[in-house]
Structure 1
């Protein structure tokens, strides 16, 4: 799917974040609440009808409070999520390492119905975790 337009804006709900991507057939919306710990939902619309969705919740360990540490973890997470492949389509790859962080993603199911967990560790300490689930809407 080629992306013809994209946007990031504050959502219509107080302290929410909204991402939209559109092409001629599909529309993607991601809305989430929170930063260090967050919850959200992605929805793909096909011909203006909700077709697929994924909900998620997670974040950094509550003992991590320094903004620079949180920014570093989320910068690494964005790098990991860019590694998504056709073989492992939910969130990021099964594993990804860069510098001091390691990303692990385990999932079960397929595009129609799935669930999974991703974590980021440093020296075997879990710094971040997130649970997700979703599938085709009926």
Structure 2
């Protein structure tokens, strides 16, 4: 299972952090898909929306689904923050997190545009979490997520 956890971090870093764009032909009508493969693992992030969005990340091993995460994020205070700023803060924060070879656990990152805070309960096998950005101490962005192993 350690290889799965390592692949999750690798796939997240290899897609979102690498600035990959959504595939031309999505797996679901109206979705934006970003895929990554390495060896016997395949990762797909499929989402809807922009500033406010919902999606699912999934991983297959040898063609069998083994892990997934669902998420919903939104700008809470559009008068002080927007999707472009959120993207900048999140990208920098996640780059720092993935460099630690992990994607879960308590994590905070200060950026000139806002303070990124991630709180998680559990580990890659079963988890829930909240990702937030505070601007001048006030909530400006929030993402809720949960996921874990898929056992056939």
TM-score of the superposition, structure 2-length normalised? 0.77
RMSD across aligned positions (CA)? 2.6
Does residue 111 of structure 2 align to residue 98 of structure 1? yes
Pair 1:82-2:95 in alignment: yes
Q: Distance in 1 between matches of 2:79 and 2:52?
A: 11
Alignment of 1:12-91 (within 5 A): 12-61=27-76, 63-64=77-78, 69-84=82-97, 85-86=100-101, 88-90=102-104
- Judge conservation of contact 1:83–1:93 (CA < 8 Å) in 2: no
Provide, for residues 64-113 of structure 1, a one-character-per-residue CA deviation record: whole Å limited to 9, x for no partner.
Answer: 179x8321221211111112234x523x8610011131000000011110
Q: 1:49 to 1:7 in 2, by over 3 A?
A: farther
Shift in CA distance, 99/65, structure 1 to aligned 2, threshold 3 Å: closer
2:127 aligned residue: 114
Structure 2, unaligned runs of 5 or more: 1-6
List runs of 5+ in structure 1 lacking aligned partners.
Answer: none
Give the helix-richer structure, 1 or 2: 2
Structure 2 CA distance for aligned equivalents of residues 25 and 58 of structure 1: 30
* Distance change (3 Å), C-alpha of 1:124 and 1:65: closer
- Residues paired across the two proteins, number: 134
Aligned twin of 1:9? 23
Offset of residue 52 of structure 1: 0.6
* Conserved 8 A contact 1:7-1:20: no
Using a 3 Å threshold, how does the CA distance of structure 1 residues 76 and 26 change in structure 2: closer, same or farther? same
Q: What are the Cα deviations for residues 27-74 of structure 1, in whole angstroms up to 9, with x where unaligned?
A: 00000001111110000111111011100001112x4179x8321221
* TM-score normalised by the chain length of structure 1: 0.84
